[in-house]
Amino acid sequence: MTARGLQRRELIRQAGALVLLLGARDIAFGATILAVRVWPAADYTRVTLESDTALAATHFLIGNPQRVVIDVDGLELSPTLRELVGQVEDGDPFIASVRVGQNRPRVVRLVIDLKQASEPQVFTLEPVAGYRHRLVFDLYPTIERDPLLALLQEKAAADGSDALSTAEAERAASAVNDALGEFIGKIGEPPASPVATAPPPPGGKPGAKPKATARLIIVALDPGHGGEDPGAIGPSGLYEKDVVLQIAQQLRKRINAQPNMRAMMTRDGDFFVPLQERVRKARRVQADLFISIHADAFIRPQARGASVFVLSERGATSVEARWMANKENAADMVGGVNLVKSQDAALKRALLDMSTSAQIRDSLKLGTEVLGHIGKVGRLHKKQVEQAGFAVLKAPDVPSILVETAFISNPDEEKKLRNPRYQAQLVEALVTGINRYFAKNPPLARQRAL
């Protein structure tokens, strides 16, 4: 080989070595966006940018019209980023539209046009499960809606009567919120945003009491996972988050058909709710029961059968129960929680851990009734209620159970979970168990009847 050829080969070798020393980010002059997702919900809307390397962003709000501007560093505009524009749904309660552009070299600007006053939270998530780096924008309403007021108004509308006007519903909700705030205040947590007492209806006396209605029993239904967190995935691709939402929606319909009973769902769509927030939602409506619905997987596909779990004060009752609890408690990592906000609520979480023996005793009663009726529908994984440290069951004043409807990791049980007939049978078993529990354990009177 000539000297020129040898020199050319050496230059190629050096260039190759330089490429190996450079990272992908240096070659591409920025991070690569792998996926963009929008999760709209009545509670909040989440926007997620998933990338191969961590992203940094700054944001600010602009009024007239209301919009949030987000500048993402280390990024070049790409076709994947442009897909964000088309992912905004017409029914999104927070986002009217999204605009994406190259603001300056290696800085992409997102402008989110808002439908209502919102409080944005922007944070990053480290790689976990099947996700790489995520940059998350959560848009929350500046004024949080009151779930108890919504339940009361929904019940009045369903009854088809004027037994509870809007003003009366607000006063009833305010009374319960005051009572709940007084209770929570005793353990150090500030009360949830109370509903302001509305003025009396036209012609009414300022001190008049709202019309008396029957004691409303409230059951909090908690479909596990959602949004960024798919939960367990069956052999054919069935997502746990989807099937448990279907079951919970059917259960809500059956509960709402019961006299003086109403269901509140921690999520009624495909969006993520942190574990602590699920508990807080149940306590805000002063729920009489909390039922978390799951369809989990196990390391062995042969595992099968339904299970019911309650909280434990002394550790898990079995290795499997401990494994299940650890897996469910990791949901916040997958679904994505703003750690800064979570750290601010560390004291509240510690106080919510003070579950009482009475709550666990009542939970065991509920779990036993539910498990017994589920066993008439299909096979049970364990014939007794199990206990473990499930974070979502740590409401000190609400009897709480977690129902594993089946093992989605078992091919036969995955087929059952897809079957509407099995879902209906499961729902009927849950309703029967709930009614049997209340027949033996009538709900205590609230400070003011609803």
Phi, psi of 115 (to 5 degrees): -95, -20
Looking up tokens 């240096």 gives 26
Quote the pLDDT of residue 5: 57
Q: Which long-range contacts (CB under 8 A, 24 or more apart) does 204-208 make?
A: none
Last residue of a domain, one of 141, 161, 180: 141
Vertex 289, ends 288 and 294: CA angle to 5°?
Answer: 160
Q: What is the pTM of this model?
A: 0.79
Residue 360 in domain: yes
Residue 356 pLDDT greater than 70, yes or no: yes
Phi, psi of 107 (to 5 degrees): -135, 115
For residues 240 and 340, state if they share a domain. yes
**3-class SS letters over the chain:** CCHHHHHHHHHHHHHHHHHHHCCHHHHHCCECEEEEEEECCCCCEEEEEEECCCCEEEEEEECCCCEEEEEEECECCCHHHHHHHHCCCCCCCCEEEEEEEEEECCEEEEEEEECCCEEEEEEEECCECCECEEEEEEEEECCCCCHHHHHHHHHHHHHCCCCCCHHHHHHHHHHHHHHHHHHHHHCCCCCCCCCCCCCCCCCCCCCCCCCCCCCCEEEEEEECCECCECCCECCCCCEHHHHHHHHHHHHHHHHHCCCCEEEEECCCCCCCCCHHHHHHHHHHCCCCEEEEEECCCCCCCCCCCEEEEEECCCCCCCHHHHHHHHHHHCHHHHHCCCHHHHHHCHHHHHHHCCCCHHHHHHHHHHHHHHHHHHCCCCCECCCCCEEECCHHHCCCCCCEEEEECCCCCCHHHHHHHHCHHHHHHHHHHHHHHHHHHHHHCCCCCCCCCC
Residue 194 in domain: no
* 439, amino acid identity: A
Reading the block at residue 33, the tokens are: 């966006």
Quote the pLDDT of residue 201: 41
d(CA 248, CA 438): 19
Other C-beta atoms lying within 10 Å of the C-beta of residue 175: 21
Tens digits of residue pLDDT in 411-449: 999 999 999 999 999 999 999 999 999 999 988 765 443
Quote the pLDDT of residue 186: 42
When pLDDT is averaged across residues 28-44 and rounded to a whole number, the result is 88
When pLDDT is averaged across residues 5-33 and rounded to a whole number, the result is 53
For residues 272 and 377, state if they share a domain. yes
For residues 21 and 35, state if they share a domain. no
**Which domain CATH number covers 422?**
3.40.630.40
Quote the pLDDT of residue 173: 52
For residues 366 and 248, state if they share a domain. yes
Quote the pLDDT of residue 18: 39
Looking up tokens 């299909």 gives 378
Band (355; pLDDT cuts 50, 70, 90): low
Quote the pLDDT of residue 341: 63
Residue 125 in domain: yes
Quote the pLDDT of residue 29: 55
Cβ-based burial of 78 (10 A; exposed 0-12, middle 13-18, buried ≥19): middle
For residues 6 and 61, state if they share a domain. no
Tens digits of residue pLDDT in 72-128: 999 999 999 999 999 999 999 999 999 999 999 999 999 999 999 999 999 999 999
For residues 56 and 10, state if they share a domain. no
Tens digits of residue pLDDT in 196-255: 333 344 444 444 444 434 578 999 999 999 999 999 999 999 999 999 999 999 999 999
Quote the pLDDT of residue 219: 96
* 36, amino acid identity: V
Quote the pLDDT of residue 119: 92
Cβ-based burial of 25 (10 A; exposed 0-12, middle 13-18, buried ≥19): middle
d(CA 117, CA 115): 7
Quote the pLDDT of residue 319: 78
Band (194; pLDDT cuts 50, 70, 90): very low
Tens digits of residue pLDDT in 280-312: 999 999 999 999 999 988 877 888 999 999 998
When pLDDT is averaged across residues 184-204 and rounded to a whole number, the result is 39
Cβ-based burial of 160 (10 A; exposed 0-12, middle 13-18, buried ≥19): exposed
The whole domain housing 103 covers 31-141
Total domains, the chain: 3
Phi, psi of 285 (to 5 degrees): -95, 5
Residue 37 in domain: yes
Reading the block at residue 196, the tokens are: 């302001």
For residues 245 and 394, state if they share a domain. yes
Residue 205 in domain: no
Q: Please provide the average confidence, as pLDDT, over all residues in the chain.
A: 81
Quote the pLDDT of residue 3: 58
Give the CA distances from residue 71 to residues 57, 151, 438, in Å, rounded to whole numbers and listed in that order. Answer: 5, 40, 54
Helix 420-440 to helix 240-256 angle (10° resolution) is 50
Of 253, 287, 281, which is closest to residue 267 (Cα–Cα)? 281
Last residue of a domain, one of 141, 157, 178: 141
For residues 364 and 382, state if they share a domain. yes
Cβ-based burial of 77 (10 A; exposed 0-12, middle 13-18, buried ≥19): middle
Band (4; pLDDT cuts 50, 70, 90): low
Quote the pLDDT of residue 439: 93
Quote the pLDDT of residue 10: 60
Residue 331 in domain: yes
**Which domain CATH number covers 73?**
2.60.40.3500
For residues 297 and 257, state if they share a domain. yes
Last residue of a domain, one of 141, 172, 205: 141
- Give the β-pairing of 45-51 and 33-39: antiparallel
> Phi/psi zone of residue 172: left (φ > 0), alpha (ψ -120 to 50 degrees), beta?
alpha
Quote the pLDDT of residue 212: 39
Tens digits of residue pLDDT in 256-275: 999 889 999 999 999 999 99
For residues 229 and 302, state if they share a domain. yes
For residues 41 and 122, state if they share a domain. yes
Residue 80 in domain: yes
Tens digits of residue pLDDT in 124-183: 999 998 899 999 999 999 988 777 777 777 777 776 654 444 444 545 555 554 444 443
Percent of the chain's residues with pLDDT above 70? 76
Looking up tokens 């909700």 gives 173
For residues 226 and 243, state if they share a domain. yes
Give the CA distances from residue 232 to residues 152, 186, 320, 346, 380, in Å, rounded to whole numbers and listed in that order. Answer: 35, 39, 16, 28, 19
Residue 306 in domain: yes
